[in-house]
């Protein structure tokens, strides 16, 4: 699969209990596509707190130790809000492949957030593939992206 992210770096992936099953399935798909995957947790369906996994993932992406991040929770909102507290992170809550595409094209998103309770796994996989292959358009969008960080 052609990608716009640096394949020399791993993809960081994380979730809470509601996203655990999707995370595990996405890891299989990504590994089969040749990605190294850095799993930031959680490691079961036991109830847990999403910031405990979103912060380490966001830090890894922020520090350039991961090409991009994939976060999964029930609504996608909690992990998205948490990741976006980090400077240099542009986490996008996506629910269709088209939204994932626009998040890359227009916003240069570097973390995708997936709502496991609201999208079928096949859509989550399509969004992830889209997120990893669609390039940032730059141009008129560049100055807008530069204004995001505080």
Q: Residue 38 in contact with residue 12, Cβ under 8 Å?
A: yes
> Per the domain annotation, does 60 fall within a domain?
yes
Bridge-based pairing of strands 11-15 and 111-115 is: unpaired
15, 73, 94, 113: the catalytic one is 73
Q: What is the pLDDT of residues 49-63, one digit of tens each?
A: 999 999 999 999 999
Q: Which of 72, 122, 108 is nearest to 93 (CA)?
A: 72
141 is catalytic: no
Q: Is 106 noted as a catalytic residue in this protein? A: yes
What per-residue confidence (pLDDT) applies to 1? 58
Q: What is the pLDDT of residue 89?
A: 97
Q: Give me the domain span that covers residue 82.
A: 11-146
Does 6 fall in a domain?
no
- Which CATH number does the domain housing residue 25 bear? 3.40.1400.10
* Residue 61: inside a domain: yes
Does some domain include residue 4? no
SS (H, E, C) the chain: CCCCCCCCCCEEEEECHHHHHHHHHHHHHHHHCCCCEEECCCCCCCCCCCHHHHHHHHHHHHCCCCCEEEEEECCCHHHHHHHCCCCCCCEEECCCHHHHHHHHHHHCCCEEEEECCCCCHHHHHHHHHHHHHCCCCCCHHHHHHHCCCC
**Is residue 5 in some structural domain?**
no
Tens digits of per-residue pLDDT, 11-53? 999 999 999 999 999 999 999 999 999 999 999 999 999 999 9
Q: Is residue 59 part of a domain?
A: yes
| Count: domains in the chain | 1
* Token pair belonging to 92: 């996008």
Pick the catalytic residue from 17, 55, 106, 141. Answer: 106
Q: For residues 119 and 124, what is the distance between their CA atoms, to the nearest angstrom?
A: 7
Rounded CA separation 51/131 (Å)? 22
pTM equals 0.96
């Amino acid at each position: 699969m052609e990608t716009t992210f640096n394949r020399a770096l791993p993809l960081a992936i994380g979730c809470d209990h509601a996203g655990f099953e999707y995370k595990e399935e996405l890891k299989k798909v990504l590994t089969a596509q040749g990605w190294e995957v850095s799993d930031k947790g959680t490691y079961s369906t036991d109830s847990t707190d999403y910031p405990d996994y979103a912060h380490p993932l966001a830090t890894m992406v922020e520090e350039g130790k991961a090409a991009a991040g994939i976060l999964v929770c029930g609504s996608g909102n909690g992990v998205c809000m948490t990741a976006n507290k980090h400077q240099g992170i542009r986490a996008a809550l996506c629910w269709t492949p088209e939204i994932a595409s626009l998040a890359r094209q227009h916003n240069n998103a570097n973390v995708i957030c997936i709502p496991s309770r609201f999208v079928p796994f096949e859509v989550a996989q399509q969004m992830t593939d889209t997120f990893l292959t669609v390039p940032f358009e730059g141009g008129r969008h560049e100055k807008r992206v530069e204004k995001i960080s505080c």
